[in-house]
A and B are shown apart, each in its own frame.
Chain A
Amino acid sequence: MTNARDKANNPQLNFTSKGIDDNADAVAITIDSSGKVAIGSTDNGVGGTIDLSVGSTSSSGGITLWSPTSSTHSLGFGDGTSGADRYRGYLEYAHNGDSMRFATASTERMRIVADGSVGIANTIPSTFNSQARNLVIGSGSGDAGMTIYSGSGSGDSGNIFFADGTSGSDPVRGGITYKHDTNQMLFRVNDVNKLTIDSSGNVNAVSGLSVPSEGIGVLATKDLGIGIHIKESDTGGSVDAWADHLVIEGNTDVGMTILAGATSDASINFADSGDNDAGRITYNHNFNELKFYNGGAERIGIDTAGLIKVNNGIALGGTGSANTLDDYEEGTFTPDLDDSSNNSPTSMYQAQGFYTKVGRAVTIQVYVEVNVKGSGMSGNVMRISNLPFTPVGTNLSFHSMAVSYISNLDVNSKPVGGAVYSDNSFIYLYYINGDNSAQITPSMISNGTRIALGGTYMSS
């Protein structure tokens, strides 16, 4: 047994001074010949930690700095005996408010406050929004930031992940990744990289890109509309609230292109909750036709030759049938000069008919010439038959035809005319006999009889 441990029998070993009350029954503090102090053991640290050692490798231990509740106490690192050199670095705990502070170059750099919020270059981290104040960087003046320093080799990336668990996809539920090997920025949602910005700045979205309520400005800052504003330059103009979700603006020629397959359709649809194509504008690249639809049906088309097709007519000066032009057609027909019993001459030398139909009005031009009359005609009245359309009207209404030329028609120099009755696709031929009209009969026809007439009648 050494003297140091035999204080009971060696009273001189029980050292007492006014400032120290030594009640140890074993060596508690050792000061070696170099002045290094060891408490709780005789082991010393190395290098910069050699001057004071506390505790041992065989049991837990530590240092406690006591202070009143309103005070602050510190552990300082000084390199001079005056001014700030006395505390070039320090670790400080302020009981008033309960914060731990870390300093370098005599200046506080990091603080952990009572609620656990950490401030780097910030002394008030707990004053920020509670959803994002676990770590606050910056003092609120000048630049502030954080750098993730990664490699640039294959697969190397810098990451910020948003986790809601520790297994499966939970640790990477959301995230922001910068891939240094391909120079791509990736934004991760629900464990999938949804948005990628490539090295050229192109933005690629896995599931489409939704426009935020503030809208998106392209090429320049958005200042028109509520959606996307593509602005090459500012015209100073405004947009109507009826059509301000997409605005394309520029002081030169501006436009929009829809690129489709060479045999496919390109369309703009107008939809509502019950109809996804209530209105539609479609360009058919297969036939090079531009089509306009409403109510699910094509209404207007412009074909590859530039012809405009209007399927239901054009309303002029009103919307009723009386104001609607809904048909146009031109063509030929083969008139016949026959009698009311459908008997024709033996042969015709000429039988020409032309028509133009505009709406319901049919304008015709007719020329007939008998070659050989023959003997088969016996009806009461001669007709120009085989008109192109059926006339309409009440039973007794008729449409007048003007005869412009006759030859070899035996009417004793009387004026000649024609009338089209409703439902008859033929013209009854008459001559003016005094105050009345009389029917032209087969007996007035001969070989070489020629009649030219024209006029307009109403069709159905």
Chain B
Amino acid sequence: MAITKTIEIAKIEVVGEYKAVQVATDTVIKEDDVEISRSRHRHVLHPDMDISSEDAEVQAISNVVWTDAVKDAWTAKLASETQ
């Protein structure tokens, strides 16, 4: 009987004007290659975040959608909210 645990990127979604990147990660437990459990964990990335520890695919998508214009707009938005 072999128990395995794997983590899979289930979804990568780009959302909204500021190109937030939503990442859904599934933790899959299998017994003898039969899935017995799957749980979902989520997080959201914004243009001002450090994404160096993210999955390569997540980084690639983020770097495409986070243009300088998007980054500037995001910075301006945050500044207006925290004055």
Contact = CB atoms under 8 A, between A and B. Distances in A.
Interface in A385-404: 386-390, 392, 395
Given A392-B16, A423-B16, A379 B82 contact: yes
A379 B48 CA distance: 14
A428 B81 CA distance: 9
A329 interface: yes
A334 B39 contact: no
A355 to B, nearest CB: 7
Contact of B41 (A334, A390, A424): A334
Contacts of A439: 82
Contact of B78 (A332, A333, A340, A422): A340
B44 interface: yes
B22 A389 contact: yes
A387 B44 contact: yes
Nearest to A335: B43
Contacts of B43: 333-334, 386, 388, 425
Question: SS class of chain A's interface: helix, strand, loop or mixed?
Answer: loop
Contacts of B69: none
B44 A425 contact: yes
Interface in A339-384: 340, 342, 355, 379-381
B1 interface: no
Nearest to B21: A390
Interface residues of B, number: 21
Contact of A380 (B46, B48, B83): B83
A168 interface: no
Contacts of A387: 44
Nearest to B44: A425
Given A355-B42, A428-B81, A342 B15 contact: no
A80 B22 CA distance: 118
B44 A386 contact: yes
B42 to A, nearest CB: 4
Interface in A312-335: 329-334
A386 B50 CA distance: 13
A425 B46 contact: yes
A421 B20 contact: no
Query: Which of B41, B44, B46 gathers the greatest number of chain A CB atoms within 10 Å?
Result: B44
A332 B44 contact: no
A54 B19 CA distance: 121
Given A334-B41, A334-B43, A425-B46, A390 B81 contact: no
B41 A331 contact: yes
A460 B82 contact: no
Interface of B: 15-18, 20, 22, 24, 39-44, 46, 48-49, 77-78, 81-83
24 contacts: A329-B40, A331-B24, A331-B40, A332-B42, A333-B42, A333-B43, A340-B78, A340-B81, A342-B48, A342-B49, A386-B44, A388-B22, A388-B44, A389-B15, A389-B22, A389-B44, A390-B15, A390-B20, A392-B16, A395-B77, A423-B18, A423-B77, A424-B46, A425-B20
